[in-house]
Structure 1
Amino acid sequence: MLTTAMARVSPMSELPDGVERRQFDGTERLATRGEPVYGEPTDGDWRAWNPTRSKLGAMLELGMEIGLGGGETVLYLGAASGTTVSHVADFAGPTYAVEFAARPARDLLEAAESRPRLFPLLKDARKPETYAHIVESDVDVIVQDVATRGQARVALENAQFLDDDGRLLLAVKARSEDVTRDPGEVFDDVRAELEAGYEILESRRLEDYHTDHLGIVARPK
């Protein structure tokens, strides 16, 4: 069973610098400053961060302590078309965005045009050796949202880039591991494998926003 930090956390936990709660159409929502990417509501320079389209956004809305304060160097695995990583690049430091599929990578490139700190990489997160010469060592945060079998293995193989005091922010998709198994059992297995290289600080189901997903905050051992 999932046992680490499963108690409810207030959604009013401290937000990173550059992330605010602002009103959009009468509703208070997370927001960052930047050019819109996926049709999200805007208010001047601010754009809403939709947690139903972003696992990291969901982790923030649920009050998980993600360890991002603003300005950190980030390695983002599974950047897709840039929905979440564009928000990250709005407030973080250098942000390396790894995406393997060519079609979403084209949208990712468009999102990067107005974000000088966002560096798209058309690479496979399962093969970190292909971008080891590009990504600087000792990144502060790895954000991983890779819908593939072996999600813990991907996190372990990319741990080489993470600073000793860094954080892994992992969104585990149970159905990508095994569509036939109970998600809770899948999450237990992923956690057990992950503990070979990480100390899990917090884990929480993201059901309010994403079915059969688990958010994990961890640091390297």
Structure 2
Amino acid sequence: MSELPAGVERRPVAGEDRLTTEGEPVYGEPTVDGRRVWDAGRSKLGAMLELGMDTRLSGGESVLYLGAASGTTVSHVADFAGPTYAVEFAPRPVRDLVDVVESRPNLFPLLADARKPKEYAGVVESGLDCIVQDVATRGQAEVANRNAAFLADDGLLLAAIKARSEDVVAEPDEVFEDVRGTLREEYELLETARLDRYHDDHLGIVARKR
């Protein structure tokens, strides 16, 4: 099992060790010892950690989160990371994110389209440590490539690729192979793994900016 980032710890819950972070609850998740249980069934990044993928995160990183939705995963990220920019396209989830921000001053919600990074280029700092991506749109690899400019040299990409968002009829393995090829234009792939134990037809990717 890979080492967890500082600020992410396992706690026993109902006889099972579960990931936890320290922060105010967001989505009805249980708490233990004053910490929030990180539900891998509702979080692709949580699933990557539960499955033992080496995210290379140590804690305290500056993060650009693409596809923040209403804050389920990005709230956990903000619990252990540094400045965390949360990009979400839909207005309703962004309104929910505003509530999450009240107890997380390092979390910055942005109503913007992750496919169009110029929309937030004037707000998000450059030289970031990490991009976390979970966007349900066609062209997920292109989204990651377009946002690579925000990363520092050797910055990390932690992406969850949803096969059905790319092609509803193609075999997921074929979709994932195409995605890997596109990502190699901007990134060195360090590790990939299917997330099917928690999320059907998803591929977790750990990559480093070239």
User: TM-score, normalised to structure 1's length?
Assistant: 0.93
Following superposition, the deviation at residue 108 of structure 1 comes to 1.2
Match of 1:8 in 2: none
Moved more, 85-94 or 44-53: 44-53
Instruction: Identify the residue that residue 114 of structure 1 maps to in structure 2.
Output: 103
Deviant stretches of 4+, over 4 Å: none
Query: Using the alignment, how far apart are the partners of 1:25 and 1:113 within structure 2?
Result: 30
SS at the partner of 1:116? Answer: coil
Alignment partner, residue 94 of structure 1: 83
In the alignment, does 2:195 pair up with 1:206?
yes
Distance across 2 between alignment mates of 1:156 and 1:197: 6
Structure-2 separation of matches of 1:33 and 1:64: 21
1:171 corresponds to which letter in structure 2?
A
Q: Is 1:220 paired with 2:209?
A: yes
Are the aligned partners of 1:21 and 1:31 in contact in 2 as well (CA < 8 Å)?
Answer: yes
**Aligned to 2:204, what secondary structure does the other structure show?**
strand
Q: Is the 8 A contact 1:32 1:91 kept in 2?
A: yes
**Is 1:162 the counterpart of 2:151 in the alignment?**
yes
CA distance in 2, matches of 1:40, 1:26: 17
What is the CA–CA distance in structure 2 between the aligned matches of 1:191 and 1:128, rounded to whole Å? 21
Distance 2:169 2:154 in 1: 37
- Give the structure 2 partner of residue 3 of structure 1: none
- How far did residue 24 of structure 1 move? 2.0
Measure the CA separation in 2 of the matches of 1:13 and 1:185: 28
Give the C-alpha shift of residue 210 in structure 1: 0.3
Matched, 1:140 2:129: yes
Unaligned runs of 5+ in 2: none
Within the candidate set 129, 134, 139, 1:150 is matched to 139
Name the % identity: 70
> In structure 1, the residue corresponding to 2:188 is in which secondary structure?
strand
Work out which of the residue numbers 22, 39, 43 in structure 1 matches 2:11. Answer: 22
2:40 counterpart of 1:51: yes
The CA deviation at 1:105 is 1.2
Tell me the distance in 1 between the aligned counterparts of 2:12 and 2:27: 18
Contact 1:35/1:45 (8 A) holds in 2: no
- Distance in 2 (alpha carbons) for counterparts of 1:42 and 1:78: 25
Cα RMSD for the two superposed structures: 0.8
Q: Deviations over 1:82-117 (max 9, x none)?
A: 000000000000000000101111111111111011
1:177 pairs, out of 166, 169, 182, with: 166
Cα deviation for residue 44 of structure 1 reads 3.8
Letter in 2 for 1:168: L
Q: Aligned with 1:105: secondary structure? A: helix
For residues 28-49 of structure 1, the C-alpha deviation after alignment (integer angstroms, 9 at most, x for no partner) is 1000000001111102420100
Deviations 1:18-63 (A, max 9, x none): 0000022332100000000111110242010000100000000011
Question: Aligned to 2:149, what secondary structure does the other structure show?
Answer: helix
Letter in 1 for 2:163: A
Unaligned ranges ≥5, structure 1: 1-11
Give the C-alpha shift of residue 199 in structure 1: 0.7
